[in-house]
């Protein structure tokens, strides 16, 4: 049986009150691309585990979400599961709960491309079909990282 960590549950619900609106219908899972391709990911389950205050399970695999947003569009309760997952990611990052491997892979991608998600030919083609601009590489990333690092150091003083 899953034990409930009441302290963490209270903290998470305070930060993400929409967790309590989820009635576990599973509609979000039926169109989840991460679930479709990984076979084990479920926004519904992540929300349930957050409600149970299960910190290990919250942080594990959070980065498998491919940010397609379809769960937000389908949720009948307006939980906005995708937004909840972002908030859980932020919580996990703030509290050092992120798996090193996931963190390093994301950092590497952001440093290289300026984006947290890879942009491939298919993405560009779909954007074109939808009449959206082509995504261009972001220049001067190193400079930007250095500036942010300096800003952080100044704030910490």
Cα distance between residue 71 and residue 79, in whole Å: 9
Q: Under the criterion CB under 6 A, does residue 82 sit at the interface with ligand SF4?
A: yes
Cα distance between residue 16 and residue 1, in whole Å: 25
Cα distance between residue 153 and residue 148, in whole Å: 9
86 CB contacts (<8 Å, ≥6 apart)?
Answer: none
Site for ligand SF4 (CB under 6 A): which residue of 8, 11, 13, 33? 33
Q: Under the criterion CB under 6 A, does residue 86 sit at the interface with ligand SF4?
A: no
Site for ligand SF4 (CB under 6 A): which residue of 81, 89, 92, 98? 81
In the bound complex, what is the minimum distance in angstroms from residue 17's beta carbon to ligand SF4? 14
Q: Which residues bind ligand SF4 (CB under 6 A)?
A: 22-28, 31-34, 43-44, 47, 65-71, 75, 77, 79, 81-82, 85
């Amino acid at each position: 049986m899953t034990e409930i960590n009441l302290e963490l549950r209270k903290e998470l619900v305070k930060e993400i009150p929409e967790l309590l609106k989820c009635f576990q219908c599973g509609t979000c899972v039926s169109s989840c691309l991460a679930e479709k391709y990984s076979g084990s990911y479920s926004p519904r389950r992540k929300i349930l585990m957050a409600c149970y205050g299960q910190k290990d399970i919250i942080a594990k695999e959070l980065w498998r979400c491919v940010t397609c947003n379809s769960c937000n569009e389908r949720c009948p309760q307006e939980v906005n599961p995708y937004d909840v997952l972002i908030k859980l990611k932020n919580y996990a990052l703030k509290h050092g709960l992120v798996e090193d491997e996931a963190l390093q892979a994301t950092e590497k991608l952001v440093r290289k491309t300026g984006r947290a998600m890879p942009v491939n030919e298919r993405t560009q083609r779909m954007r074109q079909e939808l009449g959206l601009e082509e995504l261009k590489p972001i220049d001067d990333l190193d400079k930007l990282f250095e500036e942010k690092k300096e800003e952080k150091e100044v704030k910490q003083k």
